[in-house]
Amino acid sequence: MTKKEKKVFLLTAVLCLLFAVPQKAQAMHIMEGYIPPKDCILWFVLCIPFIVMGFISLKKITSRNKKALIILSMAGAFTFVLSSLKIPSVTGSSSHPTGVGFGAIIFGPWVMSIIGAIVLVFQALLLAHGGITTLGANTFSMAVAGPFVSYGVYKICRKLKAGKFISAALAAGLGDLFTYCVTSFQLSVAYPSPNGGIIMSMIKFLAIFALTQIPLAVIEGIITALALSAVEKISDLDFDNKGILNREA
C-alpha cells in the first residue's frame, strides 16, 4: 500500500467504525443470530439462577400483596418506554437510556431481572431490537449485570453517607457502563481475535463502545439522579429501602 492509499483506508475505516458505533437502542442489544449457539446456551444458563431468584422474589411480593403485580407491570412498561426514549447526547445523535439503574434503585435487582427479561422479549418482538436466541446474553448484560451493579453502587454510596443525588447518579452511570462492558465481553467471547484472542477482541469492542457510551453513561447518571429527586419531591416515596414495594406490602 502506498502512503496515500494507507491514509484513505485509515480515514474510511475510522468513518466506518464511527458509523458502526452503536448510537441507537440496538447498540445495547446483541442482534438476533449474532452469537454462536454455544454462547447462546452459555448465557441462557448463566441467567437461570438470577431469573429463578427473581421469580421467587416476585412470587413472595405478589403473594404478600396482589397490588404489587400491577405496580411491577407498570414498572416494566415504564422501563420499556424509558429504553425507547431518546436522550440528549453530546455527539449530536439520539441515544437511548438503558433504564436499568432507575428500575434497580426503586424495585431492587432481583425483580428487575424478571422485568428486564420480559421487557427484552417485547423489545425483540415490537422493536426488532435484540432477539430470542440472544435473549440470554442480553438478559445477562441488561437485566442482571447492570441492575446488580447499579443497586450495589447505590447501597455502598448510601452506606458511605453519600447524598441521594450523587449515589443515584453514580449507580445509574456505572450500571450503564458495566452493561456495555459485559456486552463487549460477550461479543469478544463470541468473536475472539485470531491473533490476540478474547482480550484483544474485547479491547476492540470496548474502544468502539467507549466513544459514545462514556458520555452517555454520564448523561444517564445525571438524568436518573434528577428524575429520582424530582419523584421524591412530588411524591412521598422513599427509595432507600425499595420504598414502593415495601410501602405497598
Partner 1 sequence: MIDFVNSAHSVKSINPNIKAGFALSVITACVIFKEPLGCVFAMFVMWLIIIKNVVKNDGLSNHLIRHFMLFPILFIALSSFMVSFDITDCGEGIFSVKILDGYFLTVNSEGVKKAVRLFFTSAASLSSMCFLSLTTPVNDIVYVLKTIKCPKEITELFILIYRFIFIVLNMAQSIITAQNCRMAQRTFKTRINSMALMLSSVFVLSYNKSVFIYNAMLSRCYSGDISFLNVKYDSSKKYVLFAVLIVFIIVLISVLERVY
R_g (Cα) of the chain, nearest Å: 19
- Smallest distance, partner 1 to C-beta of residue 159, A: 25
- Smallest distance, partner 1 to C-beta of residue 157, A: 19
What cell does 60 get? Answer: 413472595
Residue of 44, 122, 152, 211 interacting with partner 1 (CB under 8 A): 122
Stretch that binds partner 1, among 55-63, 140-148, 152-160, 175-183 (CB under 8 A): 55-63
Stretch that binds partner 1, among 42-50, 125-133, 139-147, 154-162 (CB under 8 A): 125-133
Our finding on whether 115 is near partner 1 (CB under 8 A) is yes
Near partner 1 in 9-48, by CB under 8 A:
9-10, 13, 16-17, 19-20, 22, 24, 26, 31-34, 36-37, 40
Task: Pick the closer one to partner 1 by CB: 160 or 236.
Answer: 236
How many residues are listed for the chain in this entry?
249
Our finding on whether 160 is near partner 1 (CB under 8 A) is no
- Smallest distance, partner 1 to C-beta of residue 46, A: 18
- Smallest distance, partner 1 to C-beta of residue 223, A: 5
Task: Give the span between the Cα atoms of 77 and 231, in whole angstroms.
Answer: 17
Near partner 1 in 62-101, by CB under 8 A:
62, 66-67, 69-78, 80-82, 84-85, 87-88, 90
Residue of 46, 118, 198, 206 interacting with partner 1 (CB under 8 A): 118
Residue of 230, 241, 246, 249 interacting with partner 1 (CB under 8 A): 230
